[in-house]
Chains A and B, each alone.
Chain A
C-alpha cells in the first residue's frame, strides 16, 4: 500500500523530468539564436578558416538534428552524466554545484523569511479583519503582488545600494579580492540585498492567503464557541487561529517554490548575482544546452520535492488524515 504510493510518486517524477527536459530541448532547438554568432561573434567568425568554423559547428552541435541530440543527451543523463557545459567548458554538475551554492542560500533564506513574515502578517491581518492593521497589511500586500519582482529589485538596488550605500551594488563577492581571501561575512553581505528583495516579493502571496483562511477561522462556529466559553481574543487567535491556519499556509509555501525560483532568476539578473538563475539566462541565450537542461532538471526536482512535501505534510500532521485509515 505505502510502497505503491512511493512507486507512483517516483513514476510521476520520472515522467515529469522527461517531459520538462524534452520541452526545454525543443524550445532551445527552435530558438532563433545561433550559438556560434552569439558566443564567438560575427567578426571573429569572419576571420576564421572553413575548418575552424566546422570544428566549432561540431562543438556546438549545430548540424545534428535536435531529436538525435536529445537522445544522446538522454542516454548519458540516465547514467548520471549530464555532459559538459559548452560555455564554461566544465562538467555541468560542477558548474551547477558552484552556482547552486549561491542560489540555494538565497532562495532558502527568502523562502523562510517570506513564509514566516507573510504568515504572521496574514494572521494579524485576518484577526483584525477590516480594522487598521488589516487595511495596512492587505493594502501593502496587494501593492506588492501587483509589482513585478525585477522592479522591486531595481528600486531596492537604487535606494539601498546606490543612494544609501548600505549594500554592495552587485556580485556575490567583493571585486578584486582573491578568492581565498573572501570571508563568509563578505558573502553574506553581498547576499543580503538580493535575499531581502526575493523575500519581499514572496510575502504578499502567503500573507493574503493566510489572511483569507484566518478570517474564515475567526468566523467559524468553533471560534464562536471558544469565545462563548470565555476565551479572550488573544487566546482564540493563539489556541485556535494558529492551529487551523498553519497547515494550509505551509502547504502553500511548499507549493510556491516555483515562484521563488522564478523570482530568483530576475533578482539575480538585476543584482548581477552569479547564481543558478543567472546561469540559466546565460545558458539559454548562449545555446549552452547541457547546462540549461541541468538547471531545468534541478529546478523541476526542487519544485516536485516541494509539492511532494506539501502532500505528505497533511498525512503526517493533520490528525484527520493521520488516524483516518485506522479503525476506530
Chain B
C-alpha cells in the first residue's frame, strides 16, 4: 500500500482539550487530557488508536464528532476532506458522512426500541442479529448483542469516516474478527476508519497504521507492518506495547 497519492480525509493538527473544573468554591483547576495531538486518517485506510485507559482516546473521537462536554475547551484545527471542520460543518456531517460507534450500551436510549435507534434495520442482520432484536429495548440485549447493535448503527449507512470506539470487548474472538472485518470492508470501499482499541493484536490484523496514544497525545505513528518490531519504533511506550505482543514475548516485555 503506497503512502503517496492517498487523499487525507481527516487531518488533526495540534489538538488540545482542556477541562475547566471548579473545586472547593471558586478555585479553578484546568486539566489537559488531550494536548498537541496530530493525526491523519486517509480515505480507504484503517488507522488503529491504541493506548492505556484514560489516555484520551474517546475524547479524541468526541472532538471529531463535536460532542465534547460543555465544560471542555478545544483548540487546534481539524480538517475533513480538505476543508476546516467547524462546529457548523460537523453538525451537517455527523450521522451521514461521519459516524460513531460508541463505547457502550449506555449510549443507546434505554426507553427506545433498538430498531428506532438503528437507521437501517437490515444492518442488524449483517451482524447476525435476528429480526426480534428490532423490537427489543437496550436492557434486553446481552453484552455481545449490544456491541453488534452499536456497530450496526454506523454500518447501516455508507459514511466516509467511521470512528469506532472499542467495538470489540465482550465479543468472542470470531465475532470480534468479523466485526473488524466489516469495518475493514468499509475501508476497502473507500471510507476512512479510525479504530480505537485496547487489543493491539487484533488491530494489527486489520489496520494499515497504528497510532499509539499516551498521556493525551499520539506518541507513535507506525505502519502496521512495522509495529511488531520494537526497534523500528521511537517512543519508549510504543516499544513496550510492541514488546508485549505474544510473538515478541520471547524478548520479555512490559504489560499494556
A residues in contact (CB < 8 Å) with B: 129, 219-222, 224-232, 239-240, 243-244, 318-320, 323, 328
Contacts and interface: CB of A to CB of B under 8 A. Distances in A.
A227 to B, nearest CB: 5
Q: Which 7 A-B pairs have the closest CB atoms?
A: A230-B95, A225-B107, A229-B95, A228-B100, A222-B109, A221-B107, A224-B67
Contacts of A320: 110, 137, 139
Nearest to B62: A224
Nearest to B113: A319
Given A221-B102, A224-B62, A230 B96 contact: yes
B interface SS class: loop
29 contacts: A129-B70, A219-B69, A219-B70, A220-B106, A221-B104, A221-B106, A221-B107, A222-B110, A224-B102, A227-B65, A228-B65, A228-B99, A228-B100, A228-B102, A229-B94, A229-B100, A229-B153, A230-B95, A230-B96, A239-B112, A240-B112, A243-B109, A243-B112, A244-B111, A318-B111, A319-B111, A320-B137, A323-B140, A328-B140
Contacts, number: 67
Interface string B127-171: 000000000010110000000000001000000000000000000
Nearest to A323: B140
A79 B124 CA distance: 62
Interface string B84-111: 0000000100111001101010111111
B94 A228 contact: yes
Contact of B137 (A129, A225, A232, A319): A319
Interface in B74-91: 91
Contacts of A244: 109-111
A216 B24 CA distance: 22
A215 to B, nearest CB: 11
Interface of B: 62, 65-67, 69-70, 91, 94-96, 99-100, 102, 104, 106-112, 117, 119, 137, 139-140, 153
Contact of B67 (A228, A239, A318): A228
Given A224-B102, A239-B109, A240-B109, 16 more contacts: A129-B70, A221-B104, A222-B108, A222-B109, A225-B102, A225-B107, A225-B153, A229-B94, A229-B95, A230-B91, A230-B94, A231-B95, A244-B109, A244-B110, A320-B110, A323-B137
Nearest to A318: B111
Nearest to A223: B109
A222 B107 contact: yes
Contacts of B140: 323, 328
Contacts of B137: 319-320, 323
A231 B139 CA distance: 22
A221 B99 CA distance: 15
Nearest to B106: A221
B66, B96, B112, B119 — which one has the most chain A CB atoms within 10 A of its CB?
A: B112
A319 B136 CA distance: 10
Contacts of B111: 243-244, 318-319
B107 A224 contact: yes
Nearest to A324: B139
A328 B104 CA distance: 21
A243 B109 CA distance: 9
B89 to A, nearest CB: 13
Contacts of A229: 94-95, 99-100, 117, 119, 153
A97 B91 CA distance: 60
Contacts of A239: 109, 112
Contacts of B100: 225, 228-229
A126 to B, nearest CB: 13
A231 B100 CA distance: 13
A50 B140 CA distance: 79
A239 B108 CA distance: 12
Nearest to B61: A228
A216 to B, nearest CB: 13
Nearest to A224: B67
A129 B69 CA distance: 13
A226 B112 CA distance: 12
Contacts of B104: 221
A230 B137 CA distance: 21
Contacts of B109: 222, 226, 239-240, 243-244
Contacts of A222: 106-110
B153 A227 contact: no
A318 B95 CA distance: 28
- The residue in B66, B67, B96, B139 that gathers the most chain A C-beta atoms within 10 A of its C-beta is B67
A123 to B, nearest CB: 15
A318 to B, nearest CB: 7
B95 A228 contact: yes
A227 B153 CA distance: 13
A227 B69 CA distance: 12
A243 B112 CA distance: 8
